[in-house]
Amino acid sequence: MGVNAIKSLREKTGAGIMDCKTALQESGGDVEKAIDFLRKKGLATASKKSGRATEEGCIGSYIHFGGKIGVLIEVNCETDFVARNPEFQTLVKDLGMQVAGSNPPPLYVRKEEVPDDVIEKERAIYKAQAMESKKPAAVIEKIADGKINKYLQSICLLEQPYLKDPDMTIAELVAQTVAKVGENVQVRRFVRYQLGET
């Protein structure tokens, strides 16, 4: 693989030289496939580290639109050393921007936090809408499931498409950072303020 291809892939993904070389070899030199390869590897790395304790990290802040929207977000990692790492700090800032810039804004960090009664209320609405079409019950269930998945994508931060790169979810962005810093990283909580909201 050419040095320029490796350098270009490294600039796009932030992955190590050997990882970029392997990704290009596995993808036959196709940069887009190499990026997908590295993303999948990042997710695999993140899932292996996800059980490790995260008691360090930082609380980041982001003010958006001339002081009309503000976000506080807590992101945890395993060591104070990584908490000061520029990759980690960039992630915290990007996550704050994501919460501030999303419309509608996320309400939860992950799907598992959404209360069952909220999901069931939405499901009932989607089923009622689907029944108007006079479709079979099995089809109505599938329509409701699809709409629930879209709803969860919109209200859960980790499920959302990343505003700077909509082909990537926030969970994949976090996984990419895990692969770069070599530690478990968890988004713990956030709060979003909008001027004039009650």
Q: Give per-residue pLDDT as tens, 31-62.
A: 777 777 776 666 545 455 455 555 789 999 99
In CATH terms, is domain 3-49 a member of 1.10.8.10? yes
- How far apart, in whole angstroms, are the C-alpha atoms of residue 117 and residue 100? 26
Q: Is residue 38 a contact partner of residue 167, using CB atoms and an 8 Å limit?
A: no
- Asked whether residue 132 carries a pLDDT value surpassing 80, the answer given is no
First CA to last CA distance, the chain: 57
- How far apart, in whole angstroms, are the C-alpha atoms of residue 35 and residue 72? 31
56-108+156-194, what's its fold?
A: Tetrahydropterin Synthase; Chain A (3.30.479)
- DSSP structural state of residue 13: H
Domain ranges in the chain are: 3-49, 56-108+156-194, 115-154
Share of the chain above pLDDT 70, in %: 85
Structurally, at CATH architecture level, domain 115-154 sits in: Orthogonal Bundle (1.10)
Cα angle 171, 190, 109; round to 5? 35
Tokens found for residue 186: 């968890």
pLDDT tens, position by position, 84-101: 999 999 999 999 999 999
Q: At what angle do helices 3-13 and 31-49 cross, to 10 degrees?
A: 50
